[in-house]
Structure 1
Amino acid sequence: MAIPTVDLSPFFTNSDENWQKKAIDIIKKACSEYGFFQIVNHGVPLDLMSQAIQLSKTFFAFPYEEKLKYSPGSDAPLPAGYNEQPEKSPDKIECLLMFPPQSGFNILPTNPPHFRDVVEEMFTCFRKTGEVIEKILNDCLGLPPDFLKEYNQDRSWDFMVALRYFPATETENNGITEHEDGNCVTFVIQDEVGGLEVKKDGNWIPVVPTQGTIVVNLGDVIQVLSNNKFKSATHRVVRSKERSRHSFAFFFNLQGDKWVEPLPQFTQEIGEASKYKGFLFKDYQALRLRNKTHPPSRPEDAITITHYAIPKE
Structure 2
Amino acid sequence: MGDTLIPTVDLSPFMRDDEDGKKKAMEVITQACSEYGFFQIVNHGISLDLIKEAMQCSKTFFDYPDEEKNKSSPSSDAPLPAGYNRHSPHSLDKNEYLLVFPPESNFNVFPQKPPNFRNVVEEMFVQMRKMSVLVESIINDCLGLPANFLKEFNDDRKWDFIIALRYFPGSNNNEQNGLTQHEDGNCITFVIQDEVEGLQVQKNGEWIPVVPTEGAIVVNISDVIQVLSNKKFKSATHRVVRKEGKSRYSYAFFHNLSGDKWVEPLPQFTTYIGEPPKYKGFPYKEYQELRMRNKTHPPSRPEDVIHITHYEIDT
Same structural fold, with TM-score higher than 0.5 when normalized by the shorter chain = yes
| Aligned counterpart, 2:23 | 21
| Aligned counterpart, 1:248 | 251
User: Do the aligned partners of residues 88 and 114 (structure 1) sit closer, same or farther apart at CA in structure 2, a change above 3 Å counting?
Assistant: farther
Shift of 1:77: 5.5
Shift of 1:92: 1.7
**CA distance in 2 between partners of 1:85 and 1:25 (Å):** 39
Amino acid at match of 1:201: N
**CA distance in 2 between partners of 1:278 and 1:121 (Å):** 36
**CA distance in 1 between partners of 2:44 and 2:79 (Å):** 33
- Residues 219-267 of structure 1: per-residue CA shift (max 9 Å, x gap): 0000000000000000000001120111000000000000000000000
Secondary structure, aligned partner of 2:177? coil
Amino acid at match of 2:228: L
| Aligned counterpart, 2:104 | 102
Aligned residues: 311
**CA distance in 1 between partners of 2:78 and 2:135 (Å):** 32
Secondary structure, aligned partner of 1:198? strand
Query: For the aligned residues, what is the CA RMSD?
Result: 1.2
User: Do the aligned partners of residues 118 and 64 (structure 1) sit closer, same or farther apart at CA in structure 2, a change above 3 Å counting?
Assistant: same
2:183 equivalent to 1:184: no
**CA distance in 1 between partners of 2:178 and 2:119 (Å):** 30
Amino acid at match of 1:23: A
**Aligned match for 1:143, one of 132, 142, 145:** 145
- Residues 154-179 of structure 1: per-residue CA shift (max 9 Å, x gap): 00000000011101123322221111
Amino acid at match of 1:290: R
Show structure 2 runs of 5+ residues with no match.
Answer: none
**Aligned match for 2:8, one of 5, 9, 15:** 5
Conservation of the 8 A alpha-carbon contact between 1:180 and 1:233:
yes
| Aligned counterpart, 1:154 | 156
**CA distance in 2 between partners of 1:131 and 1:205 (Å):** 27
**Aligned match for 2:131, one of 115, 126, 129:** 129
**CA distance in 1 between partners of 2:33 and 2:255 (Å):** 16
Conservation of the 8 A alpha-carbon contact between 1:94 and 1:163:
yes
Shift of 1:197: 0.1
User: Do the aligned partners of residues 166 and 86 (structure 1) sit closer, same or farther apart at CA in structure 2, a change above 3 Å counting?
Assistant: farther
**CA distance in 1 between partners of 2:36 and 2:237 (Å):** 7
Conservation of the 8 A alpha-carbon contact between 1:86 and 1:94:
no
Shift of 1:60: 0.2
User: Do the aligned partners of residues 78 and 203 (structure 1) sit closer, same or farther apart at CA in structure 2, a change above 3 Å counting?
Assistant: closer
User: Do the aligned partners of residues 265 and 197 (structure 1) sit closer, same or farther apart at CA in structure 2, a change above 3 Å counting?
Assistant: same
| Aligned counterpart, 1:259 | 262
Alignment of 1:74-93 (within 5 A): 74=76, 78-84=80-86, 87=89, 89-93=91-95
Amino acid at match of 2:290: L
Shift of 1:90: 3.5
2:36 equivalent to 1:30: no
Show structure 1 runs of 5+ residues with no match.
Answer: none
Shift of 1:73: 4.8
Secondary structure, aligned partner of 1:119? helix
- Overall identity of the aligned pairs, in %: 68
**Aligned match for 1:310, one of 297, 308, 313:** 313
| Aligned counterpart, 1:51 | 53
Q: 239-248 or 75-84, which moves further after superposition?
A: 75-84
Shift of 1:113: 2.0
Amino acid at match of 1:151: F
Amino acid at match of 1:158: D
Using the size of structure 1 for normalisation, the TM-score is 0.97
User: Do the aligned partners of residues 78 and 235 (structure 1) sit closer, same or farther apart at CA in structure 2, a change above 3 Å counting?
Assistant: closer
**Aligned match for 1:164, one of 163, 166, 170:** 166
Alignment of 1:183-262 (within 5 A): 183-262=186-265
